[in-house]
Amino acid sequence: MTVSVLIVDDSSFFRRRLSDMIATIDGLSVIGCAENGVEAIALTKKLKPDVITMDYEMPVMDGITAVQYIMKECPTPILMFSSMTYEGARITLDSLAAGAIDYLPKNFSEIASSSVQLKKRLADAIFDVASSGKKTTVAVELEPVKAPDPILPSRKKHKVDCDVVIIGTSTGGPIALQSVLSSLPASFPKPLILIQHMPAAFTTAFAERLNSFCQITVKEAVDGDRLMPGVALLAPGGKQLIISASGRIKVLPGDERLHYKPCVDISFASAANVFADKVLAVVLTGMGADGCEGARLLKQKGATVWGQDEKTSVIYGMPMAIAKAGLTDEVLALEQIGPRLIQAT
């Protein structure tokens, strides 16, 4: 089955090069192009594409506004193109909050050179986004923290004896993390570590965004940070985060041999080595299987592993991998995870 793509960008050069590149990818076809957000909305209704690639900075109507209208009127998986700057990160995070599924860096020099690597990243991203169907990740208006929902009788005994909560995620993760963390009170008694697949230019802005929505403290991790109750440390993009034997955070260079930087498996494995069974690991939405081998090590130490369910996952890859491997102690809907963390700790 061919995945139909609508390209939205005010640059005729970018539209043409992207169209030419997609035309050479088996299983993809371009069914239309738009120069601004207004045209994008009209063509989405008319052509009903499987995936939209969306620029942000356009005349008449910008990309974020277009995403908001499309998700309200004709929900369609959207892949944003983003500049790798602090401002680009902020805009991209706003786009994800509006309902976009994922993003790719917008690099004119790379697309002009017909990069083989770019073609592969583009194909992978479009197919991944298409596999999400018409799921959206629109952030709801945040409200004051409510008391957790009643816990089913079978779960009442399941308190978790842990010294740290570590959460791994990828595609769909920014809004999933916002949902989970914003439900935690400032008095949350455990330290948290967050591993989100994200480029280096994005994690500072992402940590600031999370911190602005949450009662707990969220910050980008730096080498030597201590784990503290009610503080969530976000792994820096492009690097690896591990926990040292002393319990302090170590931020290491991103190993080029590793596909993910940061990598959930590596952080999970270090938590298993230091805290053994005193770890509560949570795997949220994301493509691929990162976190599965780390979860296996955690389970060998007697730690607890939770996974997000398929229905509320934007991409049911990472949580599916640990579920199929028989590593999950609990499978939870996204909206249940925050209240369950409060109840369990």
Domain annotation covers residue 223: yes
Is residue 332 located within the same domain as residue 205?
yes
Q: Rounded CA gap, 251 and 45, in Å?
A: 46
Domain annotation covers residue 112: yes
Residue 330, burial from CB neighbour count under 10 angstroms (0-12, 13-18, 19+)? middle
Lowest mean pLDDT among 33-42, 75-84, 99-108, 303-312: 99-108
Distances (CA, A) of 233 to 9, 124, 320: 36, 29, 25
Is residue 197 located within the same domain as residue 326?
yes
Domains of the chain: total: 2
Q: What is the pLDDT of residue 134?
A: 57
The answer, yes or no, to whether residue 264 has pLDDT greater than 90, is: yes
Is residue 109 located within the same domain as residue 183?
no
Domain annotation covers residue 215: yes
Is residue 113 located within the same domain as residue 195?
no
- 244 catalytically annotated: no
Q: What is the pLDDT of residue 152?
A: 43
pTM: 0.89
Identify the active-site residue in 9, 50, 290, 309: 290
- What's the mean pLDDT when you consider all of the chain? 91
Q: Domain holding 43: CATH number?
A: 3.40.50.2300
Q: Rounded CA gap, 264 and 289, in Å?
A: 9
| Final residue in a domain of this structure, among 69, 96, 131 | 131
The domain of 106 spans 3-131
Domain annotation covers residue 253: yes
Domain annotation covers residue 167: yes
Is residue 170 located within the same domain as residue 118?
no
- 197 catalytically annotated: yes
Q: Is the peptide bond before 262 cis (omega within 30 degrees of 0)?
A: yes
2-56 pLDDT tens trace: 999 999 999 999 999 999 999 999 999 999 999 999 999 999 999 999 999 999 9
Is residue 240 located within the same domain as residue 300?
yes
Is residue 193 located within the same domain as residue 311?
yes
Q: Domain holding 262: CATH number?
A: 3.40.50.180
Q: Rounded CA gap, 181 and 13, in Å?
A: 41
Q: Are 279 and 300 in contact (CB under 8 A)?
A: no
Structure tokens at 90: 């902020």
Is residue 258 located within the same domain as residue 194?
yes
Is residue 126 located within the same domain as residue 161?
no
Identify the active-site residue in 10, 102, 132, 197: 197
- 158 catalytically annotated: no
108-127 pLDDT tens trace: 676 666 678 788 889 999 99
Identify the active-site residue in 82, 131, 132, 170: 170
59-69 pLDDT tens trace: 999 999 999 99
